[in-house]
Structure 1
Amino acid sequence: MGNIPAVTDADFDAQVLKSDKPVLVDFWAEWCGPCRQVAPILDEIHAAHGDKITILKMNVDENPVTPASYRVTGIPTMHIYQNGELAKTIVGARPKAAILNELADYIA
């Protein structure tokens, strides 16, 4: 789906927690309809703001460890990590304007 790179349980620490810029991780699954609604929106945000925030996708079916450790119980869930810490959680499909509003502090 789209141009957003995937992150796995194995490389989560290196790609997300050790990143020098904010990282949005989209927890998703193939069978999730709302996840498919959010995907093109995140592609657009990735294209427009990829220099300020890294956007990665994590398939929860293929990578169960990280979502469980961050108590991701429903998808789509988007987590924003900054300086190795979970800074914000966005749960559920949202329109582009709402997601951009949530990201305002990180892409300004």
Structure 2
Amino acid sequence: MTLTAVTDADFGTEVLAADRPVLVEFTADWCGPCRMLAPVLAEVAAEESTRLKVVQLDIDTNPETVSRYAVLSAPTLMLFRSGEPVKSMVGARPKRRLLQDLEEYLEPALTGH
């Protein structure tokens, strides 16, 4: 699964107006740790699709959003909820740790009862 790419132009609709929390990876083609993180984020996106949307934003081609959220390094992961950034993390991390870092911000999974 590849992650959805967002841009300065559609950041508002894709991230700020989303109906669930959105994890944005601020990434770049030249960033080694970003490439290491990509399969982890793809797994998280697939497994948590009911609770979380995961997207990528290229820091080199979207300076407006990068400067609005003061992103200084890649990869930066920023979690948005109801249009507001609620958590920011810098650097690659294993899936288990990423899920632990995000857990308190995600809605409980809906069960089929």
Q: What TM-score comes out, normalization by structure 2 length? A: 0.91
Task: Give me the whole-angstrom Cα distance separating, in 2, the residues matched to 1:50 and 1:4.
Answer: 12
| Superposition map of 1:34-53 within 5 A | 34-53=33-52
Q: What TM-score comes out, normalization by structure 1 length? A: 0.95
Residue matched to 1:67: 66
Residue matched to 2:90: 91
Gaps of 5+ in 1: none
Partner SS for 2:12: helix
Amino acid at match of 1:19: A
Task: Give me the whole-angstrom Cα distance separating, in 1, the residues matched to 2:78 and 2:72.
Answer: 12
> Greater helix percent: which structure?
1
Amino acid at match of 1:48: E
Q: Is the 8 A contact 1:49 1:107 kept in 2?
A: no
Amino acid at match of 1:54: K
Q: Which runs of 4+ in 1 moved over 3 A?
A: none
Q: Percent same amino acid among aligned pairs?
A: 43
Please report the RMSD computed on the Cα atoms of aligned residues, expressed in angstroms. Answer: 1.0
Q: Is the 8 A contact 1:24 1:55 kept in 2?
A: yes
Task: Give me the whole-angstrom Cα distance separating, in 2, the residues matched to 1:99 and 1:65.
Answer: 26
Q: Number of aligned pairs?
A: 107
Cα displacement (A) at 1:107: 5.4
| Superposition map of 1:6-45 within 5 A | 6-45=5-44
Amino acid at match of 1:42: L
**Which has the larger Rg?**
2
Q: Is the 8 A contact 1:27 1:78 kept in 2?
A: yes
Gaps of 5+ in 2: 109-113
Task: Give me the whole-angstrom Cα distance separating, in 2, the residues matched to 1:74 and 1:91.
Answer: 7
